[in-house]
Amino acid sequence: MRARIAVLGGDGIGPEVAREGAAALRAVAARFGHEFELTEALVGGAAIDATGAPLPPETLALCRASAAILFGAIGGPRWGPAAPVRPEQGLLALRKELGLFANLRPVTVDPRLAHASPLKAELLVGVDLVVVRELTGGIYFGEKRRTETTAFDACTYSVEEVERVVRVAGRLARGRRRKITSVDKANVLETSRLWRAVAERVVRAEFPDCTLEHQLVDSCAMQLVRRPADFDVVVTENMFGDILTDEASVLAGSIGLLPSASLGAGTLGLYEPIHGSAPDIAGQGVADPYGTIMSVAMLLRHSLGLEAEARAVEAAVGAAIGAGVLTPDLGGTARTAEAGAAVAEAVRRSRV
């Protein structure tokens, strides 16, 4: 297969982990006989510094012309919340422009890393869930106003926006344990009452073989740490999903381990670890690249349709962890490049 892949490193540790994700892609190409054209471009704070815009037109054009996007991380104290132009605006615009409305964030627990989680080991047995977060609606994209004494952020959702993301959750559930948990705040928010009604209708009509339960977001936040193994597919709106998936990262032991895929109606997707730019450790070579490399596995599976290659990458990460190649967030001493090299070598030796 030939495919162009845009590599947007971004800010902080973003370029460091994206570099190891790109190395994993090159290892896959060498092992399985593919040709991946990896093209780097600016985004976020780095793009603001160079061009004045967080998403330069040439970066957007590259992404549109690519089969998939590998993304690092954006942001940092140089471009804080009060800045007139912020790195996060670039990522939000990219999601909107490319129609990437569904964010998939799988959470599993490697028993060998259970010690890194603050939860009791018995609570982590059997944890295997995926959060489907709506990505282009809600309060992040609603009307915003601010005066000297007040501020206003509108949260809006349409029936169509809820329908399409619930369908993504339903299709995923059919390939898993067929259990959908829809998370809202229907006891307070009108958008959540709409969300709940639409989710009920779509699942009942289109996924009758799946069970559906509704949970309020505050209850869900509690249950994620009390009984995480009970969850299968969780579907929720933009802000709730952002918060809940960061909470869920403690199950795996480190936010550096978790991947994500942002998908739309077609095969183009954006793949990134769920962690931020971590400016406090940027440039030190100690960032955990495993979340980015697992995002590469999702890229291979969802955008390129390369299931065997995706499994090879996932197995390679497991092999590196099993060999004790652990970065400081996991209690080890491995460097970012060392962890990436261990995965790349395991991919090249893969018998998948």
Residues marked active site are found at 140, 185, 218, 242, 246
DSSP string, 81-102: TTSSS-HHHHHHHHHHHHT--E
Which residues lie closer than 8 Å to 231 by C-beta, 6 or more apart?
129, 179, 181, 223, 224
Which residues lie closer than 8 Å to 99 by C-beta, 6 or more apart?
136, 264, 265
Strand-pair category, 2-10 with 35-40? parallel
Closest CA to 222 of 105, 119, 107, 132: 119
Please tell me whether residue 18 adopts helix, strand or coil conformation. Answer: helix
Rounded to 5 degrees, what are φ and ψ at 262?
Answer: -110, 115
Q: How long is the chain?
A: 352
Please tell me whether residue 136 adopts helix, strand or coil conformation. Answer: coil
Beta carbons of 28 and 68 less than 8 angstroms apart: no
Rounded to 5°, the CA angle 37-42-44 comes to 135
